[in-house]
């Protein structure tokens, strides 16, 4: 009986221990999911930003092509203009186009945060800029130098036979091929980056599914098993508790039931209890049974009592 009671007392903390265990498990599961989400988001955002920068490089390299033709167009208009007051405006337009093409070239090679250009071109792009047959960087620098010279030329030198204008007219056409090659190279690198991003997204999805499966197998499945065991043990504890209550009631009933040999004095009719004390008969029976006493006379005693009176 003592071991049963001890087991029940030990089982009273079962609910708290179970709750703590379940809390630790689902907090660990949530932590793993949060970690996977944070790492995945960080990697994806980094790759997306890289693709945005590649998009900026494509736009800027395409803009170089447009600017080369715009500079040639403004140069011809500046040299051929005859309208009074038109040349100052054309000089400003030409100077703005030159400055934009120059800053774009520097951003593509060295980087420019305002244009979202990272710089650090790939070896293939560097080959287009600095290696034969294109040597694009040198071509653009010569083109810009001739454009600046024409833009700053005095009015007397502005004519269609100006040597700077002659150079710009031919160089603008020659620049189209290497600039187109540059745009195609950036486009190819962007497409490769997008393909890598798609593979990364699939990898993240596979990792997420793998983590979920592992959590289901090693966290949630054992958790469900422990929940089932918990309720089985709780039901058994309830059954033991009911059994204990029944046993206690039976023991109480046995205490109040008189049985066995009871020592009683032949003279005074007192009863000796288990501790050796002598008790009045009525008191002893009242303590050890459910009986109550009412006092009266039996017929013989009543007759004696009446005769004595």
- Write out pLDDT tens, residues 144-187: 999 999 999 988 888 888 999 999 999 999 999 999 999 999 89
Residue 6 pLDDT: 43
**Domain positions in the chain:** 2-231, 271-308
- State yes or no: pLDDT of 5 exceeds 50: no
66: nearest Cα among 38, 105, 97: 97
Return the minimum-mean-pLDDT range out of 119-123, 268-272, 275-279, 303-307.
Answer: 303-307
Q: What is the mean pLDDT of residues 216-227?
A: 80
Q: What is the pTM of this model?
A: 0.62
**DSSP for the chain, written as a single string:** -HHHHHHHHHHTTHHHHHHHHHHHHHHHHHHHHHHHHHHHHHHHHHHHHHHHHHHHHHHHHHHHHHHHHHHHHHHHHHHH--STTHHHHHHHHHHHHHHHHHHHHHHHHH-BGGGTB-----HHHHHHHHSTTT-HHHHHHHHHHHHHHHHT--GGG-STT-HHHHHHHHHHHHHHHHHHHHHHHHHHHHHHHHHHHHHHHHHHHHHHHHHHHHHIIIIIHHHHHHHHHHHHHHHHHHHHHHHHHHHHHHHHHHHTS--S---B-TTT--EE-TTS-EE-HHHHHHHTSS--------HHHHHHHHHH-
Give pLDDT tens digits for 198-210: 888 888 889 889 8
> Does residue 38 carry a pLDDT above 80?
yes
Whether residue 1 is predicted with pLDDT greater than 70 in this model: the reply is no
Domain 2-231 has CATH 1.20.120.1730: yes
Contact 182, 64 (CB under 8 A): yes
What's the CA gap between 83 and 94, in Å, rounded? Answer: 17
Q: What percentage of the chain reaches a pLDDT higher than 70?
A: 87
Give the integer Cα–Cα distance in Å for 183 and 302. 134
Cβ atoms 60, 117 nearer than 8 A: yes
Judge whether residue 305 has pLDDT over 90.
Answer: no
CA contacts within 13 A on the Cβ side of 186: 28
Q: What is the pLDDT of residues 59-101, one digit of tens each?
A: 988 999 999 999 999 999 999 888 768 889 999 999 999 999 9
Per the CB < 8 A criterion, the answer to whether 168 and 80 are in contact is: no
Average pLDDT, the chain: 83
Distance, in Å, from the CA atom of 46 to the CA atom of 197, rounded to the nearest integer, reads 10
Distance between CA atoms of residues 176 and 285, nearest Å: 124
- Check residue 255 and give its pLDDT: 56
Question: Looking at per-residue confidence, does 222 or 185 come out higher?
Answer: 185
Work out the pLDDT band at 300, boundaries 50, 70, 90.
confident
What pLDDT, on the 0 to 100 scale, is given for residue 308? 66
- pLDDT on residue 13: 57
Q: Residue 253: its pLDDT value, please?
A: 65
Residue 12 has pLDDT above 80, yes or no: no
CB 263 within 8 Å of CB 272: yes
* Range from 3-12, 213-222, 257-266 that averages highest in pLDDT: 213-222
Structure tokens at 84: 């009074």
């Amino acid at each position: 009986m003592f071991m049963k009671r001890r087991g029940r007392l030990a089982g009273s903390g079962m609910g708290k221990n179970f709750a703590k265990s379940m809390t630790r498990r689902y907090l660990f599961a949530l932590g793993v999911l949060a970690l996977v989400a944070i790492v995945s988001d960080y990697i994806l955002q980094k790759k997306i930003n890289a693709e945005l920068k590649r998009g900026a490089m494509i736009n800027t390299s395409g803009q170089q092509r447009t600017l080369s033709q715009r500079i040639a167009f403004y140069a011809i208009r500046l040299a051929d203009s005859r309208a009074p007051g038109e040349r100052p405006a054309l000089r400003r337009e030409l100077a703005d186009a030159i400055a934009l093409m120059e800053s774009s070239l520097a951003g593509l090679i060295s980087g420019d945060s305002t244009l979202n250009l990272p710089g650090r071109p790939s070896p293939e792009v560097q080959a287009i800029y600095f290696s034969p047959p294109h040597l694009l960087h040198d071509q653009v620098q010569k083109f810009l130098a001739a454009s600046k010279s024409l833009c700053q030329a005095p009015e007397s030198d502005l004519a269609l036979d100006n040597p700077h204008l002659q150079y710009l007219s031919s160089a603008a056409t020659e620049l189209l091929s290497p600039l187109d090659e540059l745009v195609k190279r950036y486009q190819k690198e962007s497409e490769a980056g997008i393909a890598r991003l798609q593979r990364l997204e699939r990898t993240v999805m596979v990792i997420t599914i793998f983590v979920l499966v592992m959590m289901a197998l090693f966290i949630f499945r054992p958790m469900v098993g422990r929940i089932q065991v918990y309720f089985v043990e709780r039901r058994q504890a309830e059954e033991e508790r009911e059994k204990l209550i029944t046993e206690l009631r039976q023991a109480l009933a046995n205490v109040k039931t008189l049985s066995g040999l009871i020592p009683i004095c032949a003279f005074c009719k007192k009863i000796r209890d288990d501790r050796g004390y002598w008790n009045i008969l009525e008191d002893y029976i009242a303590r050890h049974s459910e009986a109550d006493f009412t006092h009266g006379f039996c017929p013989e005693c009543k007759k004696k009592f009446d005769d004595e009176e």
